[in-house]
Amino acid sequence: MGSSGDGGIAKRLWKKFKNERALALYSPFVICLASGTLDSNSFVRCISQDVFFLEAYAQAYELAEEYADDEEDKEAIIKLRKRVLKRLKNQDALICEWGFEPPKESVRDNATLKCTEFLMETASGKVGEEKFSVKMVTPFEKTKLAAYTLSAISPCMRLYSFISKEIQALLDPDDNEHIYKKWLNSLSSQKFEASASRIEDLLDKLSISLTGEELDVVERLYHRAMKLELEFIWSQPVVQQTIVPFSRLQNRAEDNLIIFCDFDLTCTAIDSSALLAELAIVASTNVSETQLSLAPPADIRTTWNDLFRQ
């Protein structure tokens, strides 16, 4: 029941939640990172949380391995866990390779805690109001739990692959001055893409035998994981203001978000000029008698409306 003409469930869900990925891509943290102006302390603080995510992934994969009934699925999960453990072991070396000093200690922040707790609850059999007793479930139910666990991991890997590739597409490939280029290269690499795809492929395979109701659970878990990752990105501190430094021709078939800003670099629901004009009209009613006499506010407003309609 898990298959359709639109591809596997992982691909369908990624397409469905395009609003969430757009919110991540246009978050203050990612915009500052893309422009190269993100404070390096903010960046190191963010990637220092990787340790906690990786530890949770390793534990979740270990449980998913126990759930998987098929030997091929077990082997695939074992490989995923080994990659996570290797990545965890090399964390400090990678941070140095990206050009930064690893933090002496890392403290798990609240957004990270929410992400990892959700993952571990899901991997432990707590799905919504339902709590599975892993020792008592049937092989089929165990496969279902493995699919649920993968659905809580898959969107996180895909989201970072997406963000890094979107940024890379806007940067000059010959520009080596971008402070975060090595990190972006790592997350947009074929190796990272292969890891994200393996997780999605495994989720697709584990979901094939699920009922419609169980696929709905997969979707809810996927969406919840995406939203928690979005909260994590938006929770990252940004100590400076950044103007989006680039633009490009939009592909109407793929791009769904275009940002427009006023002359004062604000993004408002109404034209800032109209608001400023209204303020000026109101202020004109409070001028003192020593100031130059102005036209009545009603006449000024009529003139402005005539100009605005042109």
pLDDT at 135 over 60: no
Domain boundary among 234, 253, 287: 234
Which CATH number characterizes residue 77's domain? 1.20.910.10
Q: Are 55 and 204 in the same domain?
A: yes
Q: Are 79 and 168 in the same domain?
A: yes
The rounded distance, in Å, linking the Cα atoms of 72 and 269 is 53
* Phi, psi (rounded to 5 degrees) for 131: -125, 115
**Model confidence at 13, in pLDDT bands (50, 70, 90)?**
very high
Best CA proximity match to 169, nearest among 42, 236, 44, 255? 255
Q: Are 282 and 190 in the same domain?
A: no
Query: For residue 102, how many other CB atoms are within 10 A of its CB?
Result: 16
Do the Cβ atoms of 106 and 52 come closer than 8 Å? yes
Q: What is the pLDDT of residues 224-244, one digit of tens each?
A: 999 999 999 999 988 776 655
The rounded distance, in Å, linking the Cα atoms of 141 and 131 is 12
Residue 3 lies in a domain: no
Q: Which residue of the set 65, 156, 200, 214 is catalytic?
A: 156
Does the model's pTM come out above 0.85? no
Residue 13 lies in a domain: yes
Do the Cβ atoms of 123 and 63 come closer than 8 Å? yes
Q: Are 278 and 216 in the same domain?
A: no
Place of tokens 């960046």: 43
Domain residues for 202?
Answer: 9-234
Domain boundary among 206, 234, 262: 234
Q: Are 141 and 203 in the same domain?
A: yes
Q: Are 192 and 277 in the same domain?
A: no
Q: Are 227 and 279 in the same domain?
A: no
Is residue 229 part of the annotated active site? The answer reads yes
pLDDT at 219 over 60: yes
Q: What is the pLDDT of residues 59-103, one digit of tens each?
A: 999 999 999 888 999 999 999 999 999 999 999 999 999 999 999
Do the Cβ atoms of 58 and 149 come closer than 8 Å? no
**Continuous H helices in 8-109:** 9-16, 18-25, 28-35, 40-47, 50-67, 71-89, 91-97
Residue 83 lies in a domain: yes
Q: Are 286 and 202 in the same domain?
A: no
pLDDT at 4 over 70: no
Chain mean pLDDT for the chain: 83
Q: What is the pLDDT of residues 253-283, one digit of tens each?
A: 665 555 656 655 566 656 666 666 666 666 6
Residue 110 lies in a domain: yes
Domain boundary among 208, 234, 260: 234
Residue 267 lies in a domain: no
The mean pLDDT value for 215-221 works out to 96
Q: Are 81 and 34 in the same domain?
A: yes
Residue 31 lies in a domain: yes
Residue 261 lies in a domain: no
> What are the tokens at 127?
């799905």
Q: Are 84 and 213 in the same domain?
A: yes
Q: Which residue of the set 229, 231, 261, 267 is catalytic?
A: 229
Share of the chain above pLDDT 70, in %: 73
Do the Cβ atoms of 267 and 261 come closer than 8 Å? yes
Do the Cβ atoms of 185 and 217 come closer than 8 Å? no
At 130 the three-state DSSP class reads strand
Is residue 156 part of the annotated active site? The answer reads yes
Q: Are 39 and 123 in the same domain?
A: yes
**Model confidence at 307, in pLDDT bands (50, 70, 90)?**
low
Task: Quote the pLDDT of residue 244.
Answer: 53
Task: Quote the pLDDT of residue 175.
Answer: 80
Q: What is the pLDDT of residues 140-181, one digit of tens each?
A: 778 899 999 999 999 999 999 999 999 999 888 888 889 999
Task: Quote the pLDDT of residue 2.
Answer: 46
Burial class (CB in 10 A: 0-12, 13-18, 19+), 260: exposed
pLDDT at 121 over 60: yes
Task: Quote the pLDDT of residue 178.
Answer: 92
Residue 253 lies in a domain: no
Q: Are 288 and 208 in the same domain?
A: no
Task: Quote the pLDDT of residue 259.
Answer: 60
Structural domain count, the chain:
2
Range with lowest mean pLDDT among 11-15, 51-55, 109-113, 289-293 = 289-293
Q: How far is CA 225 from CA 27, 180, 191, 214, 220, in A?
A: 17, 26, 23, 17, 9
Q: Which contacts (CB < 8 Å, 24+ apart) does range 277-284 have? A: 277/304, 277/308
